[in-house]
Amino acid sequence: MQPARIAPRDRLIVALDLPSVASAEAMIDRLGDAVTFYKIGYQLGYAGGLSLATQLAGSGKKVFLDLKLHDIGNTVARGVESVAGLGATFLTVHAYPQTMKAAVEARAGSGLKILAVTVLTSYDDTDLHAAGYRLNVSDLVEARAKQAQALGVDGLVSSPEEAAALRKIVGDQMNLVTPGIRPAGSATGDQKRIMTPARAIAAGADYLVVGRPVLEAADPKAAAEAIHTEIAQALA
Ligand SMILES: O=c1ccn([C@@H]2O[C@H](COP(=O)(O)O)[C@@H](O)[C@H]2O)c(=O)[nH]1
């Protein structure tokens, strides 16, 4: 079990995978004080979401910019410097050594933390092999985690299926952030490596990223509160 270094209610990160700032603001209103931490990714980020990120951070919410940067080192570094001014807590980059090194160096002195995306949670071994990799998912996740730790990356994005093994490898110093969260009975969608909130926390995840199971619920606030209940029970 994880030490209680993160308040239980701050462990849920709701992915604002929505088409406009207006729809995101409406969802944030509905969720109210049930959610303290939001993730903004491609869909909203390219539709005005970066300004919303700054507004949210200014209003006391925490923000995870899931931009999954990956480019030559200089471009990654300059991008990270720009993102560092937006007020976000987390920014993702893909877990390639040049990319991680550039991002870590460029975030120095800012409050921004870099998360390395190990292997996307929609991938299984077959998908990885189709993409040209010889390693299976668990071996590639672990190899990338070791590289990330050696390069000073602040945290890892993986499926909760790898959380227990990663915790043994990286200890308590790196944030383990896990999408692929599915409360019992929710649709899997395109996710292939999934766990319930309770099992993910028990496996060692620090933060749970949840999109559709909250956004598409008839009562999103009740869905978020149900996840908080699972998290609290798993930490008790
Ligand atoms: O490996 C990864 C990395 C990022 N994500 C992002 O998390 C959310 C998950 O949304 P759900 O609707 O709960 O499936 C989404 O924004 C992804 O871009 C991920 O799923 N897996």
pTM: 0.97
Partners of 65 in beta bridges: 40, 91
Gap between the Cα atoms of 26 and 7, Å rounded: 25
pLDDT at 216: 98
> What was the pLDDT predicted at 120?
98
Contacts of 122 (CB under 8 A, 6+ apart): 190, 191, 192
| Residue 2 pLDDT | 45
Count of CB atoms situated within 10 Å of the CB of 109: 7
Q: Per-block average pLDDT, block size 10, for the chain (236 residues)?
A: 74 98 98 98 98 98 98 98 97 98 97 98 98 98 98 98 98 96 98 98 98 98 98 97
- Answer yes or no: is 121 a known binding residue: yes
List all residues whose CB is within 6 A of at least one atom of ligand 1: 15, 17, 41, 66, 117, 120-121, 157, 179-180, 189, 191, 209-213
Nearest atom, ligand 1, residue 210 CA: 13
Q: Cα of 41 to ligand 1 centre, how many Å?
A: 9
**In a mutational test of the pocket of ligand 1, which residue from 43, 156, 209 has the highest number of ligand atoms less than 8 Å from its CB?**
209
Choose among 140, 121, 139, 137: nearest CA to 192: 121
Positions marked active-site? 66, 68, 71
Query: Where in the chain are the domains?
Result: 6-233
The answer to whether residues 67 and 114 touch, using CB atoms and an 8 Å cutoff, is no
Q: Does domain 6-233 have CATH number 3.20.20.70?
A: yes
